[in-house]
Amino acid sequence: MRTELFDYPLPVELIAQRPPERRDGGRLLCLEQGGRSHRLICDWPDFVEPGSLVVLNDTRVRCARLYGARGGTGAKVELLLLSRESGTADCEEWLVLGKANRPLRVGDPIEVGELQCRVKERRDGGVILLEINAERSVEDAIEEIGHVPLPPYVERPDDAEDRSRYQTVFADHPGSSAAPTAGLHLTREMLDRLSARDIELGHTTLDVGLGTFRPVGVDDLDDHLIHAERMSVSDKLVRQVAAARARGAKVVAVGTTVVRALETAAEPAPGGRLTAYDGESRLFIQPGYRYRVTDALFTNFHMPKSTLLALVSAFAGRGRLLASYADAVKQRYRFLSYGDAMWIPKRLNGDD
């Protein structure tokens, strides 16, 4: 499909620069077959059908943005850690995006505080393989000296508030270079309210990286390369989904990363059974895709012409979704990572 079909006008002043005062303090656009309504995120637990299974992405965001200098010249270098490839505690190899005044070359030394780094390889798409050395655990050093990897449309430096607010309350497994942003809205109190309504909670892990946030730079979505992201679906979650199916209950995904994890691990047929999986996802969902596991979706508002907008369009219908986005703009909703959210309680068919 043509990338331009997923474009919409987004006024820059509607891109949220800070989280709301309270995690659950945003607005919620509810999209159903018969129309849409405007609610509050704090009331979302009341909209989920009792007996449902709500699936959360329990990845944890690393302090993955590093600021350093090129060895010998002192020229500034900015790094975004994507994934750890190999190594020991004090010497590791990472896939990284690098930004400098001139291209980083193989062999270039980079100093980031106590970290001594060296470019080992250049990969496609501006990715480099970086060797990182420290006199203690590299992971510990990164967590201490690194910065919260806010997306580029948040036009300010990260601060102490971001260390907690750009992280879900259920984050458990470090590995992400960006937050699974739908989960940022959920509080412990909201999770307790779900449980009190006989709604089960399940967890999957998908480490958010380039596969989620890299912009589309081609005219046709079919030409866009989805980068691999580490993910896992446990035997426990497989049993939970099977039990939900057996009782006729819905599987609710909190965020597009949960959708991609569930659909990656499903058998390749409509209504396909979920299987345990520990590997990578390269799944690119766009209109025409037949969902196998996901029945309902809680999600943020996404960038124009993005893979995430294509994914939600496949769930709700492109025309219907873009009309809802236009309404959200008119109603002055807050957009993107720190913005408001949408609730789509069932797959919608029709307008594509």
Q: Which residues pair with 4 in a beta bridge?
A: none
Q: Which fold has domain 65-145?
A: Thrombin, subunit H (2.40.10)
Structural domain boundaries in the chain: 3-61+162-344, 65-145
Residue 320 confidence (pLDDT) above 90: yes
For range 143-153, the mean pLDDT: 96
Q: pTM higher than 0.85, yes or no?
A: yes
**Mean pLDDT calculated for residue range 323-343:** 98
Reported as a single tens digit per residue, the pLDDT across 222-281 is: 999 888 899 999 999 999 999 999 999 999 999 999 999 999 999 876 667 999 999 999
| pLDDT above 70 (res 195) | yes
CATH class of 3-61+162-344: alpha beta
**Tell me, what's the pLDDT at 270?**
63
Q: For residue 126, give the 3-state DSSP assignment.
A: helix
Which of 78, 253, 248, 241 has its CA nearest to residue 152? Answer: 78
Task: Give the integer Cα–Cα distance in Å for 316 and 335.
Answer: 18
Burial class (CB in 10 A: 0-12, 13-18, 19+), 188: exposed
**78 alpha carbon, distance to own chain's centre:** 22
Rounded-to-integer distance, Cα 58 and Cα 286, Å: 24
Which pLDDT tens digit goes with each residue over 19-76? 999 999 999 999 998 899 999 999 999 999 999 999 999 999 999 999 999 987 889 9
> How large is the average pLDDT for residues 302-331?
97
Mean pLDDT of the chain: 94
- Give the per-residue pLDDT at 89: 74
CB 338 within 8 A of CB 154: yes
Q: Residue 36 forms beta bridges with which residues?
A: 31
- Summarize the confidence of residues 127-137 as an average pLDDT: 92
For 64-101, write each residue's pLDDT tens digit.
Answer: 999 999 987 889 999 999 998 887 777 899 999 999 98
The answer, yes or no, to whether residue 352 has pLDDT greater than 60, is no
Joined tokens for residue 129: 């393989």
Share of the chain above pLDDT 70, in %: 98
pLDDT score for 351: 55
Structural contact between residues 107 and 143, judged by C-beta atoms closer than 8 angstroms: no
Q: Determine the pLDDT at residue 261.
A: 98
pLDDT at position 269: 64
Give the CB-side neighbour count of residue 155, counting CA atoms within 13 A.
5
The pLDDT score that the predictor gives to residue 34 is 84
* Maximum CA extent, the chain: 65
Q: How far apart are CA 53 and CA 202, in angstroms?
A: 7
Query: What is the reported pLDDT for 110?
Result: 95
